[in-house]
Amino acid sequence: MASNKEDMKLFGMLISPYVIRVEIALKLKGIEYKYIEEKPGNLSEKAIQYNPIYKKVPILVHNEKHISESLVILEYIDETWKQNPILPSDPYKKALARFWSKFIDDKVMYAARKAFFYHDEKELEQGIEETTVALQLLENELKDKFFGGEEIGIVDISAVILAYWLPIIQEAFGVKLFTSDKFPKLYNWSQDFNNHPIVKELLPPRETLKTNYKGLYERHVASK
């Protein structure tokens, strides 16, 4: 069960919400790891060698076995270290947790991306409408303090992109999608989640992200 820094490496990127998913899971499990920061748009040879297919982070390297894709890594961590489970043990509840984790990437963020990187007014409207519908579904799904119940689970971890990144990105792009008045339960959840001691210490500085997304916004506007 024990691991040391030599056994576990995480190739990451400070600004990536997908990397922090893995870090939250590792910290929740109490697993030590060596973190290797990669540069956006310029991945190291080592990282490319470990993830030649997607050429992106996060990449978890555990005793030279390398795994990519954040949701796949989260399941690997949960199956390898049993303490502080992030997935329910009941197969049906597990299926629901997988469904909603996937939903955050496939529906919420897919729609939000459309609203941020729109090419015409119609696409912007569609993006806003689809994000609103998706966020409402998540709002309805939230029944306890966290999606995982009283403790953080895989859906909460996947939704870090929503809790911390989305408010910053929408500020940088000037498109409001996630607000406390429209989604009060989800907003309260995001506050609880961002203030969870393990999450809080991992979140990158707000200003760093804001600068990054402002830059992205300016390049997007310039390319239109």
Binding positions for a copy of itself, rule: CB under 8 A: 53, 62, 65, 67-69, 72-73, 75-76, 79-80, 91-92, 94-96, 98-99, 102-103, 107, 137
Q: To the nearest whole angstrom, how small is the minimum distance from the Cβ of residue 99 to a copy of itself?
A: 5
* Nearest CB to a copy of itself, comparing residues 105 and 171: 105
CA–CA dist 144, 150 (Å, integer)? 7
How many Cα neighbours within 13 Å face the side chain of 165? Answer: 23
Closest CA to 25 of 152, 159, 124: 152
Nearer to a copy of itself, 126 or 212 (CB): 126
| Complex with a copy of itself: residue 59 or 168, whichever CB lies closer | 59
From the CB of 8, what's the least distance to a copy of itself, in Å? 13
Which residue, 5 or 102, has its beta carbon nearer to a copy of itself? Answer: 102
Token readout for 155 is: 């859906």
Alpha-helical (H) ranges within the chain are: 17-29, 45-50, 70-80, 91-103, 110-116, 121-141, 154-158, 160, 166-173, 184-194, 197-202, 206-223
Question: Does the N-terminal peptide bond of residue 58 adopt cis geometry, omega within 30 degrees of 0?
Answer: yes
Nearest residue (CB) to a copy of itself, 61 versus 172? 61
In angstroms, what is the minimal distance from the CB of 177 to a copy of itself?
18
CB of 53 vs a copy of itself, minimal distance in Å? 6
Q: What angle do CA 132, 114, 41 make, to 5 degrees?
A: 130
Distance of closest approach, residue 170 Cβ to a copy of itself, in angstroms: 23
Handedness of CA 91, 83, 97, 188 (dihedral sign): positive
In terms of residues, how long is the chain? 224
154, 87 Cβ separation under 8 angstroms = yes
Q: Which residue number, 79 or 129, has a Cβ lying nearer to a copy of itself? A: 79
Distance CA 50, CA 46 (A): 6
- Identity of the residue numbered 175: V
Residue 30 CB, shortest distance to a copy of itself, in Å, is 17
Please say which residue, 102 or 200, places its beta carbon nearer to a copy of itself: 102
Q: How far is the CB of 137 from a copy of itself (least distance, A)?
A: 6
